[in-house]
Homo-oligomer: A and B are copies of this chain.
């Protein structure tokens, strides 16, 4: 018997595999018993109603996908009334993902969703900050720190900060999130990308641009997970292109404590189920007693991440 449980800032997960926000909902329970997951993570909600972006909202690009769903939301009231109760029937901890256009609106929502049945709040700071220049909070350390301070004051629940890959300052942003009060980091959201239909000369997404997710994102998210684990002392939850138990092991070795699976669930709705079973078998086969024994075990020869970054930048 191997031990799959991990601890994220005081919250024990029975295994390190959970869905990524926006790629999971109550409907997946019609495919398999979602009690088996390490956590339940909801689609990002906003305080008020939002329609989302024009269609087409997804397209595929060479073995991965772009999306510009745009956070349609029924608003917080509908969420508290319909969604939170659904998950009360499960033991699995519920993680609620939220977002806001301004730091204050974000913080207000954070307080509102700090209700019974919610185990942690994932703050999607990869969304645009309309008070500044419309760049996502998590593009810069300063805006990351400021929004995290306000969010921290709004709740006593664990705060997971979800970072964006659309930045050149991942370690700095990670440290800013930690200093601002994040209990864990989710690394990472989608990467801004684009595709054009050359026949019609129209963008393949109704919104012109969208976020890249799936296998293409994996080596980028893995690098970020490594950087964040080195740069901070809080747990890192890896996310980006994870589709197999081997991918999970790679992220854990890089320094992640847990992982989120997104796009892979669209391709194989039972992907997380398979990953958890394969992860258990992997540990048994390798004679590893606990999944925690993998975390951060990358043999990186004591190279300083700073130096490495410099030399790697081509």
Contact = CB atoms under 8 A, between A and B. Distances in A.
A61, A66, A70, A194: most-surrounded residue (chain B CB, <10 A): A194
Contact of A196 (B140, B195, B222): B222
A126 B313 contact: yes
A64 B135 contact: no
B135 A22 contact: no
Contact of A209 (B130, B202, B203, B309): B309
Interface string A299-310: 110010111111
A298 B201 contact: yes
Nearest to A69: B314
A62 interface: yes
A166 to B, nearest CB: 4
B220 A53 contact: no
Given A61-B218, A219-B66, A220-B212, A194 B309 contact: no
Interface stretch (A78-86, A245-253, A264-272): A245-253
Contacts of A44: 314
A60 B61 CA distance: 18
Interface string A187-215: 00111111110101111010111111001
B314 A22 contact: yes
Contact of A194 (B140, B216, B223): B223
Interface in A45-92: 53, 61-64, 66-71
A100 to B, nearest CB: 13
A249 B198 contact: yes
A200 B63 contact: no
A312 B192 contact: yes
A157 B166 CA distance: 33
Given A168-B167, A220-B193, A298-B203, A312 B211 contact: yes
A246 to B, nearest CB: 6
Interface string A97-137: 00000000000000000000000000010111010011110
A222 B194 contact: yes
Given A66-B219, A168-B167, A253-B201, A314 B211 contact: yes
Contacts of A257: none
A311 interface: yes
B209 A298 contact: no
A227 B302 CA distance: 38
Contacts of A210: 312, 314
A177 interface: no
Nearest to A297: B201
Interface of A: 22, 44, 53, 61-64, 66-71, 124, 126-128, 130, 133-136, 139-140, 164, 166-169, 189-196, 198, 200-203, 205, 207-212, 215-216, 218-220, 222-223, 226, 241, 246, 249-250, 253-254, 297-300, 303, 305-314
Given A190-B314, A194-B223, A212-B219, 13 more contacts: A70-B312, A128-B310, A135-B309, A136-B168, A166-B168, A189-B314, A192-B223, A196-B254, A200-B299, A201-B298, A205-B312, A207-B312, A216-B216
